[in-house]
């Protein structure tokens, strides 16, 4: 079943077309990679999907609904969550609060119940904390729940970002260079983690990554973007041998 | 670490007990004539300034939206309450309710368009709106124009002041320490990330702005009914800056900081009355010194609360994280 369908997406910044006639579809529970040279427009595509930018043209359908041009928080509520290329945690807050904020959209008690501290507030808070703790345990961050997000080591911050995104209860998880700045060991661990959360939460995952071992290792299908256009699509094997992809990355052969 | 989040009955009773003791003590001092007029005026100023600083801190400190129009909301509250009490001869409680409602409404009307702006643009816009409120009041003859309203009956008594401060603190502290409060703080931390995590940031900015404005209105009502006279000039942008100074001095995002700074600034202003010639210079020097040695404000964004008392008094307060 198709979870997301993107048709003729177009976005220009001034005279520069960052994304040009972008078409793609995501199957339910697929693990898809989006790769391309620097400046190809990959993050712009993510920003268009999640509502950070409004597309100039084109349609995005998600779970049979048109989500084109909705504000980001609405898109999140419909089941798309993401992480960022340059980590964007709530730095001054604790690890626990970072995850609890992602749970806020399903808050179980009304505002006045918080102000007057009636029982539904305590019940709602207790449930929220329990839920947040579950996510923190999956990502081995439970022991650090009261630490400030900014004080975590880099790898933990990356994982906390994924935990926070998962806490919004998405159907589609979008990861923007999750392995950036990680060493080979950490990358291997991350690959395992990505696979296991997909199974556990029945997720569709779309990721941008420059680390080819990760992309080729976990992705089932790959889109290759260059100058805002898709130049190739297929399985890792097909992409590896695609002439246009090799040209885009390494340049044309001089004859 | 296991911990309970419910109110501990014993702790709750002790805390209420402490409040009752403070209230009764001051009430006794006033009725026994041990607290002279000078101290009473300063006490009222302290209470009003605490309400102003704590409510502005909700907007500037917790939500991270630099607002410079707080005196405008105070003016709305002051005038609304005086219209109710002096003009319509209704009881003070109606005046206070009208003040809160009118200021909250003004906060909503101003907040919805301006909160789209960020940082310095928002500061300028709120500064402008604060001044607009003042100029509008100056031009309404019904409320005395530039001369303002005189002969307001003195209805603000110690019980009113005390209750208002307690209500302000309880509401804002409870709001902040809830999921809604975390949503508000997430706007300050990273607006884009908050939005992408499902937080409707505009909604929470407006919420904080409206609640902040409402309590500024309360402070305005208390002010009007303590000092007999209100005029538009009292609520100019310098008043907004005074409140902002308290918030920054106390530490952006610390309620206890705002309370401490409100007391500190009020006492400092009063103490410097004896040196009229160099008053403003001393005031400025003290502020500069604090900002050099504690740029994050007296409290940073930390709170002095149950956790701190827990370290001192043991388990009765200890477990609140």
Whether the per-residue pLDDT at B243 is higher than 80: the answer is: yes
Q: Which residues of A165-178 are buried (b: 16+ CB within 10 A; e: fewer)?
A: bbbbbbbbbbbbbb
| Cβ within 8 Å, pair A73-B171 | no
Residues A6, A56, single domain; the answer is yes
Answer for the pair B118, B203: CB distance below 8 angstroms, yes or no. Answer: no
Residues A71, A130, single domain; the answer is no
Residues A182, A246, single domain; the answer is yes
For residue A164, being part of any structural domain is answered with no
Residues of A with CB under 8 A from a CB of B: 50-52, 71-73, 76-77, 81-82, 84, 88-93, 97, 100-105, 107, 109, 111, 114-117, 121-122, 124-126, 128-129, 146, 164-165, 168
CB-count exposure of residue B192 (10 Å: 0-12, 13-18, 19+):
middle
Residues A185, A217, single domain; the answer is yes
| Cβ within 8 Å, pair A97-B321 | no
Domains by residue range for chain B, with CATH: 9-21+36-316 (1.10.3470)
Answer for the pair B258, B300: CB distance below 8 angstroms, yes or no. Answer: no
Segment B52-59 shows an average pLDDT of: 97
Q: According to the model, what pLDDT value does residue B174 have?
A: 95
Whether the per-residue pLDDT at B321 is higher than 50: the answer is: no
Over pLDDT 70: what percentage of chain B?
93
Domain count, chain A: 2
Q: According to the model, what pLDDT value does residue B1 have?
A: 37
pLDDT digits (tens, 9 = 90+) for B8-28: 778 888 889 999 999 999 999
Measured between beta carbons, the chain B residues lying within 8 angstroms of A125 are 5, 178-179
For residue A162, being part of any structural domain is answered with no
For residue A165, being part of any structural domain is answered with no
Q: According to the model, what pLDDT value does residue B272 have?
A: 87
Whether the per-residue pLDDT at B108 is higher than 50: the answer is: yes
Residues A18, A74, single domain; the answer is yes
Measured between beta carbons, the chain B residues lying within 8 angstroms of A172 are none
Q: According to the model, what pLDDT value does residue B52 have?
A: 98
Specify the DSSP class assigned to residue A177: S
Measured between beta carbons, the chain A residues lying within 8 angstroms of B179 are 100, 103-104, 107, 109, 114, 124-125, 128
pLDDT digits (tens, 9 = 90+) for A2-15: 999 999 999 999 88
Segment A39-62 shows an average pLDDT of: 94
Residues A69, A97, single domain; the answer is no
Nearest CA in chain B to A120: B6
Nearest CA in chain A to B177: A114
In Å, what is the CA distance from A69 to each residue of A6, A25, A44, A75? 13, 18, 14, 9
Residues A111, A175, single domain; the answer is no
**Mutate: best of B198, B207, B211, B320, partner A, most A CBs <10 A:** B198
pLDDT digits (tens, 9 = 90+) for A174-227: 999 998 888 889 899 999 999 999 999 999 999 999 888 889 989 999 999 999
Q: According to the model, what pLDDT value does residue B311 have?
A: 64
Give the pair of three-digit tokens for residue B257.
């900081």
Instruction: Please give the residue range of the domain that contains residue A199.
Output: 2-79+170-250
Measured between beta carbons, the chain A residues lying within 8 angstroms of B193 are 84, 88-90
User: Which residues lie closer than 8 Å to A233 by C-beta, 6 or more apart?
Assistant: A24, A221, A222, A223, A224
In whole angstroms, what is the distance from residue A52 CA to residue A41 CA?
14
For residue A119, being part of any structural domain is answered with yes
Residues A75, A176, single domain; the answer is yes
For residue A62, being part of any structural domain is answered with yes
Q: According to the model, what pLDDT value does residue B283 have?
A: 81
Q: According to the model, what pLDDT value does residue A248 have?
A: 84
Over pLDDT 70: what percentage of chain A?
99
Backbone φ, ψ for residue B256 (5° rounding)? -65, -35
B3 touches chain A (CB under 8 A): no
CATH of the domain at A195: 3.40.50.300
B87 against B287, higher pLDDT: B87
Q: According to the model, what pLDDT value does residue A102 have?
A: 96
Over pLDDT 90: what percentage of chain B?
74
For residue A84, being part of any structural domain is answered with no
**Mutate: best of A115, A147, A165, partner B, most B CBs <10 A:** A115
pLDDT digits (tens, 9 = 90+) for B132-181: 999 999 999 999 999 999 999 999 999 999 999 999 999 999 999 999 99
Answer for the pair A173, A196: CB distance below 8 angstroms, yes or no. Answer: no
Whether the per-residue pLDDT at B3 is higher than 50: the answer is: no
Which pTM does this prediction carry?
Answer: 0.91
For residue A243, being part of any structural domain is answered with yes
pLDDT band at B247; cut points 50, 70, 90: very high
Measured between beta carbons, the chain A residues lying within 8 angstroms of B178 are 111, 114-115, 121, 125
pLDDT digits (tens, 9 = 90+) for B213-228: 999 999 999 999 999 9
Residues A235, A191, single domain; the answer is yes
Whether the per-residue pLDDT at B271 is higher than 50: the answer is: yes
Last residue of a domain, one of A126, A153, A180: A153
pLDDT digits (tens, 9 = 90+) for B185-209: 999 999 999 999 999 999 999 999 9
Backbone φ, ψ for residue A19 (5° rounding)? -130, 130
pLDDT band at B300; cut points 50, 70, 90: confident
- When CB atoms are compared, the residue of A51, A104, A129 closest to B199 is A104
Whether the per-residue pLDDT at B296 is higher than 90: the answer is: no
Q: According to the model, what pLDDT value does residue B316 have?
A: 56
B201 touches chain A (CB under 8 A): yes
pLDDT band at B313; cut points 50, 70, 90: low
Q: According to the model, what pLDDT value does residue A121 have?
A: 95
Segment A126-154 shows an average pLDDT of: 95
The angle at the Cα of A88, spanning A128 to A221, to the nearest 5 degrees, equals: 90
Choose the most confident range, by mean pLDDT, from A248-252, B31-35, B147-151: B147-151
Residues A49, A100, single domain; the answer is no
Q: According to the model, what pLDDT value does residue B6 have?
A: 57
**Mutate: best of B104, B179, B199, B306, partner A, most A CBs <10 A:** B179
B195 touches chain A (CB under 8 A): yes
Q: According to the model, what pLDDT value does residue A245 have?
A: 87
Residues A113, A231, single domain; the answer is no
As a whole number, the mean pLDDT across chain B is 90
Last residue of a domain, one of A153, A183, A204: A153
As a whole number, the mean pLDDT across chain A is 92
Answer for the pair B130, B56: CB distance below 8 angstroms, yes or no. Answer: no
For residue A146, being part of any structural domain is answered with yes
Q: According to the model, what pLDDT value does residue A163 have?
A: 96
User: Which residues lie closer than 8 Å to B304 by C-beta, 6 or more apart?
Assistant: B256, B260
pLDDT digits (tens, 9 = 90+) for A25-47: 999 999 999 999 888 899 999 99
Residues A74, A120, single domain; the answer is no
In Å, what is the CA distance from A39 to each residue of A88, A109, A177, A229, B274? 20, 44, 14, 12, 66
pLDDT band at A246; cut points 50, 70, 90: confident
User: Which residues lie closer than 8 Å to A105 by C-beta, 6 or more apart?
Assistant: A73, A76, A77, A168, B197, B198, B199
- When CB atoms are compared, the residue of B185, B192, B198 closest to A93 is B185
């Amino acid at each position: 079943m198709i979870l997301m369908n993107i048709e003729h997406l177009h976005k220009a910044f001034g005279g520069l077309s960052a994304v040009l006639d972008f078409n793609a579809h995501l199957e339910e529970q697929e693990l898809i990679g989006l790769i391309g040279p620097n400046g190809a427009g990959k993050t712009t595509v993510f920003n268009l999907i999640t509502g950070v930018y409004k597309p100039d043209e084109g349609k995005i359908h998600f779970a049979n609904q048109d989500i084109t041009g909705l504000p980001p928080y609405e898109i999140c509520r419909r089941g798309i969550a993401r992480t960022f290329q340059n980590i964007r945690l709530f730095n001054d807050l604790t690890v626990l609060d970072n995850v609890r904020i992602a749970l806020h959209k399903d808050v179980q008690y009304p505002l006045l119940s918080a102000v007057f501290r009636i029982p539904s507030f305590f019940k709602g808070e207790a449930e929220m904390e329990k839920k947040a703790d579950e996510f923190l345990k999956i990502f081995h961050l439970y022991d650090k729940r009261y630490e400030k997000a900014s004080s975590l080591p880099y790898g933990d911050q990356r994982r906390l970002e994924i935990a926070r995104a998962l806490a919004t209860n998405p159907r589609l998880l979008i990861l923007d260079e999750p392995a950036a700045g990680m060493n080979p060991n950490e990358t291997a661990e991350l690959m395992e983690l990505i696979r296991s959360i997909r199974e556990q939460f029945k997720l569709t995952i779309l990721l941008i990554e420059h680390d080819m071992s990760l992309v080729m290792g976990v992705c089932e299908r790959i889109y290759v973007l260059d100058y805002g256009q898709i130049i190739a699509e297929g399985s890792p094997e097909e992409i590896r041998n695609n002439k246009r992809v090799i040209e885009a990355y390494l340049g044309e052969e001089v004859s | 670490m296991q911990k309970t989040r419910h109110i501990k009955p014993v702790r709750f009773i002790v805390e209420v007990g402490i409040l009752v003791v403070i209230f009764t003590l001051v009430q006794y001092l006033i009725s026994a004539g041990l607290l002279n007029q000078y101290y009473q005026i300063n006490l009222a100023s302290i209470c009003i300034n605490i309400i102003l600083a704590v409510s502005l801190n909700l907007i500037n400190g917790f939500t991270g939206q630099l607002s410079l129009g707080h005196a405008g909301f105070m003016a709305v509250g002051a005038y609304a309450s005086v219209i109710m009490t002096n003009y319509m001869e209704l009881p003070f409680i109606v005046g206070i309710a009208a003040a809160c409602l009118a200021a909250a409404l003004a906060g909503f009307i101003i907040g919805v368009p301006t909160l789209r702006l960020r940082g310095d643009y928002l500061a300028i816009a709120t500064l402008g709106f604060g001044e607009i409120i003042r100029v509008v009041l100056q031009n309404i003859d019904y409320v005395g124009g530039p001369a303002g309203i005189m002969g307001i009956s003195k209805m603000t008594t110690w019980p009113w002041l005390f209750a208002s401060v307690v209500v302000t603190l309880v509401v804002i502290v409870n709001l902040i320490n809830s999921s809604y409060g975390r949503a508000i703080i997430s706007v300050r931390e990273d607006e884009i990330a908050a939005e992408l995590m499902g937080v409707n940031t505009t909604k929470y900015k407006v919420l904080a702005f409206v609640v902040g404005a409402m309590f500024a209105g309360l402070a305005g009502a208390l002010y009007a009914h303590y000092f007999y006279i209100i005029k538009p000039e009292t609520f100019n942008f310098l008043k907004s800056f005074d409140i902002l100074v308290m918030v920054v001095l106390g530490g952006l995002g610390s309620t206890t900081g705002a309370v401490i700074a409100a007391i500190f600034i009020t006492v400092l202003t009063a103490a410097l009355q004896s040196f009229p010639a160099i008053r403003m210079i001393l005031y400025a020097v003290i502020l500069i010194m604090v900002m050099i040695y504690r740029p994050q404000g007296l409290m940073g964004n930390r709170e002095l609360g149950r956790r701190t008392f827990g370290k001192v008094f043991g388990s009765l307060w200890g477990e609140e994280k």
